[in-house]
């Protein structure tokens, strides 16, 4: 119960101020497309140079927690996910907003983030040593099968037609191979110097989601019904009462998020999507998803915040980050001479437990500030579409440029976005494309590594098809495909009956 | 009309004062530096090169009794990551201003090896070093439960089992890859190189037992000794962080210091001579700041401060050694 002893350190005026500032800034930065949690944490690290180690980490932890939740704000209100982790939130969240239920959707988002976040930190506090050992078992083959399992989700995410979903996913996988490949040490498909460093995930995210949204808003602004949606204010207590009854969505989301978080390299980016896919598949009324089903938000948001705590497990014990943001956080630890490993919890116990305790308090700040902001969400929904389009465009360009200070990224974002706008007219959705961009390198790099290792050992086939984790993942992949076929068959029958 | 008149007046004043300011800025060009200086880092924020660059430049604006102690202006870091550093360095050699207000961090042997293997816009001839702050040798490591306890045992096993020994490293054409090539050549063995996702990814493969061995940064390996065994250092001398670990040379495996990861600052060719001479004098002083050295020590970052001339010699030596080593790979 070490962690209980250090709560006092969190409740100093200075640390509470850092938590408040970090959370508020994190929610706002997270809501801006392009400023993903990874970027936000990287931006703050230089400031922590001059702070005490514990204070610096408290600020970084608060930013991490809040940006992950903040990305949902723009996903819900303007259909532009703030970060890849929030893609699944946009699918039902924005539909709810369009039906005038924006504040309600935001309530579910923050309440579920809180539940998932606390669950993740409990896992971090109590199960770190055994889970760290488990994390090490995920080598190239295991990660390859995880990527394949993720790809089975593509067909069912955000598209009415499975075939179109798969085609969009394939396009995403294809463009993910552009640029430098670290395994081969070669550049591929670089037809102009702008494509030299490939398609960054966040560039794809902004282009594919934000630009079509801007063009759609401009279309709407010309029509007589000036795009303000009907608004109904829901009291947060009403949302809370409903939210706590959604036990299945909450527990499924939190569990999946925690598992994905522990696996190093899988990236918390897919936690929300996998949870969304699972809740949809196991729902009694899967046809409601994509139309504004609260369970979609609840599962996705509890999952992506449940990922935060466990992604620190392999980081703090083995110096292996569980998510891209955790990787940046590693830099923040090293700068203060805090080297991950067993020493961290003994020699630096005070710093590290204060940090973990502050994560719990940060969750409380996040939910309170988030619910407060939700009350004013109506203001954003009332902005006339042409103003909205202009502001999103500014943010999209600024956000894209700021990722790698690269003008090429802005051009790529523009090209992808305009292509996506026309493709969306033909019924293709952006979510499978982004998922393809995320999973492509995960599958390819790990396959290449596994191939090299397998060839040096007993052969590739042996290496990929033995081991408990590999076989479990292969079975899960087959199960996921079989279930998709079965579920879509069942759904068609139900729709026919209606 | 009144409003308009005052607006025009204001606008005129603004334009005039801006022009005045600009002319002042132009006139004072001789007094380099008169505004903050940027450092371009070709890797992601939070990585080793990034945070070391930030620490190394902490003391740039320090002054005493109104007199600058080192460079004389604050230094900020800007990141242009991508393509293993190629993106940032291409930009730096091709597009960065050569007025001394944009410096870049270099990583040797990475950028030199890349300029040999790939069609890059940079090479040692169009870049000018101004000082070196760190040197991180590659070390040969194995997992904690590995059957190998010395580099000699590992080499003996590799001789009997060609290609069976998998060796991870941070990527292709970086220090770890060079060290692997040198080891294979010097010991006359065939090894299988497995590029990891950066140094962290390569280390994970060793800790998880997915590969038999690996080359990694001395600084990272030194603090991971609970999970790995360090067999040898690929440098000319033993390192202060690991006094008990022999060099490969000592074991009779003739691997020199070609793979050591040197980090420092440079400017593009065409930078005025007075700017280079100012930086050449003040940059090593900045690296030698007491607080900076303390932070470097705290973060386990191995420091090796070198002057411009020492770096020029080191670059040239690396260029010929790497050309020879990479000849067969092209």
Residue A333: predicted pLDDT: 86
Res. B134 pLDDT band, cuts 50 70 90: very high
B162 contact residues in A (CB cutoff 8 A)? none
Whether A444 has a pLDDT exceeding 60, the answer reads yes
Highest mean pLDDT among A7-11, B194-198, B246-250: B246-250
User: Which of A178-187, A367-376, B126-135, B310-319 is predicted with the least confidence, judged by mean pLDDT?
Assistant: A178-187
Distance in angstroms (rounded) separating the CA atoms of residues A137 and B188:
32
What residue in A sits closest to B177 (Cα-Cα)? A185
**What is the ipTM, given to two decimal places?**
0.85
* Under 8 Å between Cβ of A206 and A413: yes
Residue B16: predicted pLDDT: 58
Cβ-nearest to B223 among A332, A339, A449: A339
Q: How far is B20 from chain A (nearest CA, A)?
A: 31
A185/B195 touch (CB, cutoff 8 Å), yes or no: yes
* Predicted confidence (pLDDT) per residue in B45-54, tens digit: 777 898 899 9
Q: What percent of chain B has pLDDT over 90?
A: 67
Residue B6: predicted pLDDT: 58
What residue in A sits closest to B54 (Cα-Cα)? A46
Residue B189: predicted pLDDT: 95
- C-alpha atoms less than 13 angstroms from C-alpha of A203 in its C-beta half-sphere: 25
B176 Rama sector, left if φ>0, alpha if ψ -120 to 50, beta otherwise: alpha
Distance in angstroms (rounded) separating the CA atoms of residues B270 and B272:
6
DSSP conformation class of B268:
E
Fold agreement (B34-134+261-326, B138-233): yes
Residue B19: predicted pLDDT: 53
Cβ contacts below 8 Å, chain A against chain B, sum to 140
Q: What percent of chain B has pLDDT over 70?
A: 90
Q: How far is B206 from chain A (nearest CA, A)?
A: 10
Query: Nearest 5 degrees, angle CA A188-CA A190-CA A192?
Result: 175
CATH superfamily of the domain spanning B34-134+261-326 = Bordetella uptake gene, domain 1 (3.40.190.150)
What is the pLDDT averaged over residues A155-181?
84
Residue B25: predicted pLDDT: 45
Q: Give chain A's domain count.
A: 1
Whether A460 has a pLDDT exceeding 80, the answer reads yes
User: Which of A318-332, B45-59, B198-212 is predicted with the least confidence, judged by mean pLDDT?
Assistant: A318-332
Cβ-nearest to A185 among B165, B172, B300: B172
Whether B286 has a pLDDT exceeding 60, the answer reads yes
Polymer length of chain B: 330
Whether A222 has a pLDDT exceeding 80, the answer reads no
* Chain B interface includes A402 (CB < 8 A): no
Distance in angstroms (rounded) separating the CA atoms of residues A255 and A321:
19
Cβ-nearest to A406 among B50, B80, B164: B80
Which CATH architecture best describes the domain B138-233?
3-Layer(aba) Sandwich (3.40)
What is the pLDDT averaged over residues A151-168?
80
Res. B114 pLDDT band, cuts 50 70 90: very high
Sheet bearing B228-233, strands edge to edge: B192-195, B166-169, B213-217, B138-143, B228-233
For chain B, the domains span 34-134+261-326, 138-233
Across chain A, mean pLDDT equals: 87
Q: Where are the alpha helices (DSSP H) in A338-429?
A: 342-346, 349-375, 377-381, 385-404, 407-425
B75 Rama sector, left if φ>0, alpha if ψ -120 to 50, beta otherwise: beta
Which of B:204-243 have CB within 8 Å of A? 204-205, 207-211, 220, 223-224, 226-227
Q: What percent of chain A has pLDDT over 70?
A: 96
B168 bridge partner residues: B194, B214
Whether A88 has a pLDDT exceeding 70, the answer reads yes
Res. B9 pLDDT band, cuts 50 70 90: low
> In A104-220, at which residue ranges do the beta strands (DSSP E only) sit?
179-181, 186-188
Whether B17 has a pLDDT exceeding 60, the answer reads no
Residue A72: predicted pLDDT: 92
B21/A72: higher pLDDT: A72
pTM (two decimals): 0.86
Res. A190 pLDDT band, cuts 50 70 90: confident
Residue A232: predicted pLDDT: 67
What is the pLDDT averaged over residues A278-303?
90
Polymer length of chain A: 498
Cβ-nearest to B171 among A185, A319, A406: A185
Res. B309 pLDDT band, cuts 50 70 90: very high
* B117-149 core/surface letters (b: 16 or more CB in 10 A; e: else): bbebebbbeebbbbbbbbbbbbbbbbbeebebe
Residue A196: predicted pLDDT: 80
What residue in B sits closest to A180 (Cα-Cα)? B83
Distance in angstroms (rounded) separating the CA atoms of residues A212 and A222:
16
Which of A:339-398 have CB within 8 Å of B? 339, 341-342
* DSSP for A311-333, written as a single string: HTHHHHHHS--SSHHHHHHHHHH
Distance in angstroms (rounded) separating the CA atoms of residues A133 and A347:
21
Residue A233: predicted pLDDT: 72
What value does the CA radius of gyration of chain B take, rounded to a whole number of Å? 23
The gap between the terminal CA atoms of chain A, to the nearest Å, is 56
Residue A426: predicted pLDDT: 92
* Chain A interface includes B66 (CB < 8 A): no
Distance in angstroms (rounded) separating the CA atoms of residues B168 and B151:
15
Across chain B, mean pLDDT equals: 88
Domain that residue A28 falls in: 2-497
């Amino acid at each position: 119960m070490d962690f209980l002893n250090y709560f006092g350190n969190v409740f100093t005026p200075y640390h509470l101020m850092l938590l408040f500032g970090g959370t508020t800034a994190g929610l706002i930065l997270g809501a801006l497309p392009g400023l993903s949690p990874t970027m936000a944490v990287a931006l703050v690290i230089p400031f922590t140079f001059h702070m005490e180690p514990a204070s610096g980490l408290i600020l970084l932890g608060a930013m991490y927690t809040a940006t992950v939740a903040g990305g949902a704000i723009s996903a819900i209100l303007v259909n532009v996910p703030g970060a890849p982790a929030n893609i699944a939130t946009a699918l039902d969240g924005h539909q709810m907003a369009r039906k005038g239920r924006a504040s309600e959707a935001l309530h579910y988002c923050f309440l579920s983030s809180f539940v998932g976040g606390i669950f993740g930190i409990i896992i971090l506090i109590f199960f770190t040593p055994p889970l760290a050992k488990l994390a090490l078992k995920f080598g190239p083959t295991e990660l390859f099968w995880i990527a394949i399992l993720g790809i089975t989700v593509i067909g069912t995410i955000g598209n009415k037609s499975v075939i179109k979903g798969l085609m969009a996913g394939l396009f995403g996988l294809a463009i993910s191979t552009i640029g430098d490949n670290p395994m081969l040490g070669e550049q591929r498909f670089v037809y102009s110097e702008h494509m030299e460093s490939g398609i960054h995930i966040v560039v794809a995210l902004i282009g594919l989601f934000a630009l079509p949204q801007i063009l759609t808003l401009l279309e709407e602004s010309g029509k007589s019904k000036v795009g303000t949606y009907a608004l109904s204010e829901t009291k947060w207590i009403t949302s809370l009462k409903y939210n706590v009854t959604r036990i299945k969505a909450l527990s499924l989301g939190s569990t999946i998020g925690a598992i994905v978080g522990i696996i190093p390299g899988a990236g918390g980016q897919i936690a929300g999507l996998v949870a969304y896919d699972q809740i949809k598949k196991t729902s009694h009324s899967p046809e409601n998803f994509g139309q504004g089903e609260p369970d979609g938000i609840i599962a996705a948001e509890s999952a992506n915040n449940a990922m935060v705590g466990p992604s620190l497990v392999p980081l703090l014990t083995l110096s292996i980050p569980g998510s891209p943001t955790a990787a940046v956080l590693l830099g923040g630890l090293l700068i203060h001479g805090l080297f991950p490993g067993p020493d961290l919890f003994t020699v630096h116990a005070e710093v590290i437990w204060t940090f973990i305790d502050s994560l719990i308090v940060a969750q409380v700040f996040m939910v309170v500030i988030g619910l407060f902001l939700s009350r004013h969400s109506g203001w954003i929904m009332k902005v006339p579409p042409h103003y909205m389009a202009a502001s999103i465009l500014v943010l999209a360009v600024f956000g894209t440029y700021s990722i790698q200070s690269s003008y090429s990224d802005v051009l790529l974002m523009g090209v992808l976005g305009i292509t996506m706008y026309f493709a969306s007219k033909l019924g293709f959705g952006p979510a499978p494309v982004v998922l393809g961009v995320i999973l492509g390198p995960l599958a390819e790099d790990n396959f290449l590594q596994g191939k090299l290792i397998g060839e040096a050992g007993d052969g590739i086939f042996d290496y990929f098809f033995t081991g408990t984790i590999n076989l479990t993942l292969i079975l899960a992949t087959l199960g996921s495909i079989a279930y998709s076929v079965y579920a879509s068959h069942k759904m068609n029958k139900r729709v026919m009956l209606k | 009309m009144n409003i308009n008149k005052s607006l025009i007046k204001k606008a005129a004043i603004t334009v005039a004062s801006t022009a005045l300011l600009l002319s002042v800025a132009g006139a004072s060009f001789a007094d380099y530096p008169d505004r903050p200086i940027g450092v371009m880092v070709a890797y992601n924020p939070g990585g080793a090169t990034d945070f070391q660059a930030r620490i190394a430049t902490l003391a740039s604006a320090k002054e005493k009794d109104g007199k600058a102690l080192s460079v004389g202006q604050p230094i900020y870091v800007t990141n242009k990551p991508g393509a293993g550093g190629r993106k940032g360095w291409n930009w730096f050699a091709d597009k960065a201003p050569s007025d001394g207000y944009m410096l870049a961090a270099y990583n040797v042997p990475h950028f030199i090896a890349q300029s040999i293997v790939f069609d890059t816009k940079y090479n040692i001839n169009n870049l000018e070093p101004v000082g070196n702050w760190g040197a991180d040798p590659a070390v040969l490591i194995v997992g904690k439960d590995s059957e190998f306890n010395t580099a000699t045992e590992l080499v003996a096993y590799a001789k009997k089992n060609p290609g069976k020994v998998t060796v991870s490293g941070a990527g292709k054409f970086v220090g770890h890859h060079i060290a692997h090539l040198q080891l294979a050549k010097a010991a006359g063995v065939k090894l299988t190189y497995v590029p990891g996702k950066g140094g962290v990814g390569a280390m994970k493969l060793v800790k998880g037992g997915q590969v038999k061995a690996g080359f990694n940064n001395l600084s990272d390996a030194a603090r991971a000794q609970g999970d790995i065994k360090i067999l040898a250092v690929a440098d000319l001398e033993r390192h202060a962080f690991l006094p008990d670990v022999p060099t490969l040379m000592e074991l009779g495996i003739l691997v020199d210091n070609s793979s050591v990861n040197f980090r420092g600052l440079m400017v593009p060719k065409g930078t005025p001579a007075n700017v280079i001479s100012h930086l050449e004098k003040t940059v090593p002083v900045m690296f030698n700041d007491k607080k900076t050295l303390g932070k470097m020590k705290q973060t386990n970052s191995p420091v090796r401060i070198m002057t411009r001339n020492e770096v020029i010699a080191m670059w040239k030596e690396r260029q010929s050694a790497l050309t020879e080593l990479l000849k067969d790979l092209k």
